[in-house]
Structure 1
Amino acid sequence: MPAARPRLLYVTDLAYQARGRRYCDEDIHLASRLRAHFDLALCHPLDAAALMDGFDAVVVRNSGPVLGYQRAYDDFRARALAAGTRVYNPLTGKADMAGKQYLLELTAAGFPVIPTVDRVADLDRLPAAERYVVKPKLGADSLGLRIVPGSRLAELSAGDVLIQPCVDFAYEVSFFFVDDDFQYALYAPDPRRRWELQPYRATAADLEFARRFIDWNDLGHGIQRVDACRAPDGGLLLVELEDLNPYLSLDALPEEARDAFVTAFTASLSRFVQVAPARGQGRGVQPDERGPGESGDEAGRVAQRA
């Protein structure tokens, strides 16, 4: 049973250098607020597997791209699933937590996502374009992302990359959820400056769009970020669904909205530590190869991310 004050192991890499963002500031702020409700210890992701047995739950936050410590993450994940350790977000995520295969699945299912294939032979399933975004199925922080003219697509190796048409979008917008509840939205008015964010007033149609992906992922608990772009026809298209450790951009929020998020996050964690751990549960998905909401800076006005 959880202690009177639940014990949380908060996994973060305070030294991680992100382009245009200071991840450490966000986790220092969140940890300082959570300590009013939990007994909390911070640890580096390389230490999480060794330390987690002494806590009621493990909270994975801005822990850096998994590519930087893949073997340690695989060990942490396997041990947590075998022991039934409570991990927040739960390790059953079907989106970026499991790699980028979901973009193919959502495309095939007719969801409003940037159309995606993984074979040159399937290009006829995509809208015609002069340039295409090509990125690894398992990638992080735009590593390996290329903008390729259509005439050069035949040179690609089959099966290990995703192919998408370049989208001349108006702006990018992110919708943030705690459990199934919408919290706030932020957008980048200038497509060339992805991380210069401002509060965004989401419409009912916007939220209907975002909730389709939250419902599809069926995570139950945790923080999720739905990243989208405003396409030329005025509609939204999914760029990615970050369900492992999304960066929250709390510094872009007014104080009242930031406090409301912390309140919702605290309440979610309080509920989560009461959930009975279930040994060995999990779908056996592949470990995430990305990082905490890493998207990188694409050339021009391309919305897709590595």
Structure 2
Amino acid sequence: MFDAVLVRNSGPAIYYRREHDEFRALAKAQNVLVLSEMSGKADMAGKQYLVDLFADGYPVIPTVDRPADVGRLPTSVEYVVKPKFGADSVGLRFVRGDELADLHDDDILFQPRIVFDYEVSFYFIGDTFEYALYAPDPSRRWALECYEPTHADLAFARTFISWNDIEHGIQRVDACRTGAGDLLLVELEDLNPYLSLDLVAPATRDVFVADLAASITSLIETRGAQS
């Protein structure tokens, strides 16, 4: 017997999409408690949310999912094309603007190729901010260093944490800093975010572990009592 399932280190679901969908269906049918909660609206459900958030005026990298809508994007020399259920740059490619009209696939996204200063990630358990890391060199995405967020940075990140409305679970808000100084959402990883805990201070790591244990306990006590 078990009280809840914690999903960790399972890799990108694009490699085992059928099995992942079966797991979700079985967990829902048997009322199994899963952390992160499967109600997540971000990467857990694919990247359609980037299209929807852009349409709703959120600060995300401009994103559409039809060649006919590319005119809504900022003009760019190159565009990023990526699968809606991709992860870790799987299937990502760069194309010229005149090549977009030939792409007809319901499962891909279109974005302008943005030049940015760096990428930064904000890590949360539920709506509790834990720590932040950034890649000062844009060409080395996972050469991460500790980052001290400003109040404005955290307000940006919390915008998407509030939108996703996951009470129990780990979430990572990935953003890029544009040359104008703005942050734009790259993705909201709510399924299985890599944590890079080896890069944070021991005290920060201990707090994260304690908060994760508390989140699991809270999930069992609250959701379990309702079932």
Using the size of structure 2 for normalisation, the TM-score is 0.96
Instruction: Give 1:159 shift.
Output: 2.6
Whichever residue aligns with residue 216 of structure 1, its letter is W
Offset from partner CA, 1:10-55 (integer Å, 9 cap, x none)? xxxxxxxxxxxxxxxxxxxxxxxxxxxxxxxxxxxxxxxxxxxx21
Matched residue SS, 1:234: coil
Task: List aligned pairs for 1:52-131, cutoff 5 A.
Answer: 54-131=1-78
Whichever residue aligns with residue 165 of structure 2, its letter is D
1:264 aligns to 2:211 (yes or no): yes
Question: Using CA pairs below 8 Å that are at least 6 residues apart, which structure has the higher relative contact order?
Answer: 1
2:109 match? 162
Report the CA distance shift for 1:175/1:162 in structure 2 as closer, same or farther (over 3 A).
same
Offset from partner CA, 1:218-253 (integer Å, 9 cap, x none)? 011111000000012110000000001111100110
1:150 aligns to 2:66 (yes or no): no
Matched residue SS, 1:230: strand
CA contact (8 A) 1:175 1:184 kept: yes
Instruction: Give 1:143 shift.
Output: 2.2
Offset from partner CA, 1:240-282 (integer Å, 9 cap, x none)? 0000111110011011111111121111112111123466xxx
Offset from partner CA, 1:133-182 (integer Å, 9 cap, x none)? 01111223322211111121121114331000011000000000011110
> In 2, distance between residues paired with 1:140 and 1:207?
24
1:204 aligns to 2:139 (yes or no): no
> In 1, distance between residues paired with 2:143 and 2:184?
20
Whichever residue aligns with residue 137 of structure 2, its letter is D
Sequence identity percentage:
60
Matched residue SS, 1:72: helix
Whichever residue aligns with residue 249 of structure 1, its letter is S
Structure 2 gap segments, 5+ residues each? none
CA contact (8 A) 1:120 1:158 kept: no
Larger mean CA deviation between 180-189 and 156-165 belongs to 156-165
Root mean square deviation, CA, Å: 1.2
2:127 match? 180
CA contact (8 A) 1:225 1:242 kept: yes
- Asked which structure has the greater CA Rg, the reply is 1
Aligned residues: 226
Offset from partner CA, 1:62-101 (integer Å, 9 cap, x none)? 1112233223222211111011110000111000000010
